[in-house]
A = this chain, B = another copy of it.
Amino acid sequence: MKNNDELLASSLLFNGLPAEQLKEIAAIGVTKKYGKGVSIFFEGDPGIGFYMVASGRVKIFKMSFDGKEQILHIFGPGEPFGEVPVFHGSPFPANAETLTEADILFFPRAGFVNLIAANPSLALNMLAVLALRLRRFTTQIENLSLKEVPGRLASYLRYLMEEQHRQDKVVLDIPKGQLASLLGTSSETLSRIFAKMTEEGLIRVEGKTIYLLDTEGLKER
């Protein structure tokens, strides 16, 4: 595993910053270890700082009154989260919980705002991170409202293809139940859609490995 300095230097947020500034930043960050399935913060908590995944994976999600969850993001190493309250001064708009064991860096709000104010290129990086996140939300809203579940699954598979640089197969990085929540559906429905796509010869499913038999057909979804 990377150490924190390497992690910071390679993250989108801090990338391109001079070494001495990275030192300053590392100095205000605190690392904490979390077990699997542990809460990091809850919707409505005051935002006293923001986080960055050092190792493991974290989900950001909303819960409905009757306990249904919708995952908004899944973040891995180098990705910051919980920054909205730092800049907007409002409480966290969603919950955060680990999906795996994880090391999480925490940056207290005050120190960080000072750094940004003093540092235009850090500010631009931060703007880029938030802009990118907005763009992902845009896609997610599009998927939720314009596509049916098979289309959303196809989108997700194509996203994994890109991320894993594979044309022939991808490996799900989260349990199927969590994937259902990310796609805004139930695990039963997701299971049926996997079965149907298999029947149609689009994919073949072996546990967490999905063989992509007809990428053209997937695109049409």
Contact = CB atoms under 8 A, between A and B. Distances in A.
Interface of A: 62-64, 68, 70, 72, 83-90, 93-94, 113, 116-121, 123-124, 126-128, 130-135, 137-142, 144-147, 184
Contacts of A184: 144-145
A131 B62 contact: no
A147 B93 contact: no
B135 A137 contact: no
Nearest to A120: B117
Q: Is the interface of A mostly helix, strand, loop or mixed?
A: helix
Q: How many copies of this chain does one complex carry? A: 2
A87 B128 CA distance: 5
Nearest to A182: B145
A11 B113 CA distance: 21
Contacts of A118: 120
Given A124-B116, A124-B123, A144-B144, A138 B88 contact: no
Shortest 6 CB-CB distances between A and B: which pairs? A123-B123, A64-B146, A145-B184, A88-B131, A87-B131, A137-B137
A46 to B, nearest CB: 14
